[in-house]
Structure 1
């Protein structure tokens, strides 16, 4: 079981590396790791389990965050329309995106960052992602708003980018051009 002790914190070089593609089909070990990552997110959102194991609630986790430099992400959350997203994905990539941008009004947080980092993080408002799921199926996901932001945050981890790298350095609360706030 993955716990907060397994989460790599900012400053660790693995978080700044570009993660390697996973050779498909994925090995059983890779599938097990990705399944554990998804289970961590589910556990972190279960009040009783989270309290027992002192887990910070998370909606997404990328393999570099547990010290594995491979292109694997897990997401588990509901968007504002109550649509459930629960995926373990290999080699996710954005294949198209909107010109319009979006940002979370409350800013973003990260399981690998143990401090508040105020500011708006500009993201694409809509994206289309291609990836391979835990069962080896190729997926194409069209995402918008909150869901698009969550996926982009995790994809950034695969490219060695931290969310705060995207915050305007001189004025963290600069509203990104052509952007909509998402609460």
Structure 2
């Protein structure tokens, strides 16, 4: 199982590298990496396991964060209606998005960033993502709210982008026009 020691920290060159497409059908090695990403995220949300293994709680994790420059990510998060969105995806890409924006009022955090970086991170309020599942099935996911924000954060990792790159440096808490504020 992955631990906090497996997660590379801000400043590591892999976090600024554009990850490569995963050849499909995925190899057993790539499937194991993707399973490990999802297992970390799920386990980190269980207080007993998180404490026992020293895991920081997470709702998403991308392969570049464990120094694997491949387009893979895992998300395990509930939306505002308590519906679970649990995905382990190969080669996810945003194929459409809303004009409307959204942001987390508490800002975003990242397992690869140890310090808190305050500020609003503008994201699309709704996205449609095309990807391939662990089982090799091609899927199209329509996400909004928190799940949409999380998947955008993780896809950014695949493109060498960090969440704080989106924060307005001069006015980190300036209200984002026509955006939905999401409490978390």
TM value normalised by structure 2: 0.98
Deviations 1:51-99 (A, max 9, x none): 0111000000000000000000001111121110111100000000000
2:28 aligns with 28
Q: Which residue of 1 aligns with 2:91?
A: 91
Q: How does 1:67-86 map to 2 (within 5 A)?
A: 67-86=67-86
Give runs of ≥4 in structure 1 deviating > 4 Å. none
Match of 2:58 in 1: 58
Q: 1:76 and 1:31 mapped to 2: Cα distance?
A: 17
For 2:40, the equivalent position in structure 1 comes to 40
Residue aligning to 2:128: 128
What are the ranges of 5 or more consecutive residues in structure 2 without an aligned counterpart?
A: none
Structure 2 distance, partners of 1:3, 1:79, is 26
Aligned mates of 2:176, 2:165 — CA distance in 1: 14
Count of matched residue pairs = 183
Structure 1 residues not aligned, in runs of 5+: none
1:116 and 1:179 map into 2 onto residues whose CA distance is: 23
The 1-side partners of 2:65 and 2:134 are apart by 19
Residues 103-114 of structure 1 mapped to structure 2, 5 A cutoff = 103-114=103-114
TM-score, scaled to structure 1: 0.99
